[in-house]
């Protein structure tokens, strides 16, 4: 399934996905987030989705899993990232700085949510327009700009 067909189907399956999300998440904003994340996940596999029926089926399956995942994550106590406290005993200063730089970048990217990371990929790696991303996620362009703005700020703050 290509971009145009995918974005045509989004408005048709969105309501059903939202209803499914609301079974698991009582807050409508959370349910909306779950739907957007689910659509971003569907987009990752869009080339493997054959037709509209399959997209609807996967849409419901994925949004259900995303909703459960969100519910689960909220309940779970976030463990302390032990990796941060492991000291590196390599001696060469340059090597260490390079490694730190890479590590810092890795941590910065990892601090993004799956959805944020996916949107940054759409925009800056796959070079999709804001309009196209909005259609994929079934949301407004300003909402997409807001999410990208937030994700870039997170990256910058982790890298500075």
Q: Does 101 bind other proteins (CB under 8 A)?
A: yes
C-alpha span between 121 and 79 (Å, rounded)? 27
Please say which residue, 7 or 118, places its beta carbon nearer to other proteins. 118
Among 9, 24, 55, 134, binds other proteins (CB under 8 A): 24
C-alpha span between 17 and 20 (Å, rounded)? 5
CA angle, corner 120, sides to 149 and 7, nearest 5? 105
Please say which residue, 4 or 124, places its beta carbon nearer to other proteins. 124
Cα dihedral angle (45, 48, 52, 58), rounded to 10 degrees? -50
Please say which residue, 3 or 61, places its beta carbon nearer to other proteins. 61
Site for other proteins in 128-147 (CB under 8 A): 129-130, 144-146
Among 8, 106, 107, 140, binds other proteins (CB under 8 A): 106
């Amino acid at each position: 399934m290509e971009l145009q067909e995918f974005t045509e189907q989004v408005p048709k399956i969105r309501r059903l996905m939202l209803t499914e999300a609301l079974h698991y998440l009582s807050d409508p904003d959370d349910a909306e987030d779950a739907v957007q994340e689910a659509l971003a996940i569907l987009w990752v596999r869009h080339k493997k989705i054959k037709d509209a029926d399959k997209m609807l089926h996967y849409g419901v399956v994925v949004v259900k899993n995303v909703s459960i995942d969100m519910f689960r994550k909220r309940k779970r106590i976030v463990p302390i990232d032990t990796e941060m406290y492991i000291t590196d005993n390599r001696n060469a200063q340059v090597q260490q700085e390079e490694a730190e730089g890479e590590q810092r970048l890795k941590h910065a990217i990892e601090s993004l949510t799956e959805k944020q990371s996916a949107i940054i990929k759409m925009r800056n790696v796959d070079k999709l327009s804001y309009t196209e991303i909005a259609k994929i996620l079934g949301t407004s362009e300003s909402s997409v700009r807001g999410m990208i703005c937030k994700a870039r700020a997170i990256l910058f703050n982790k890298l500075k």
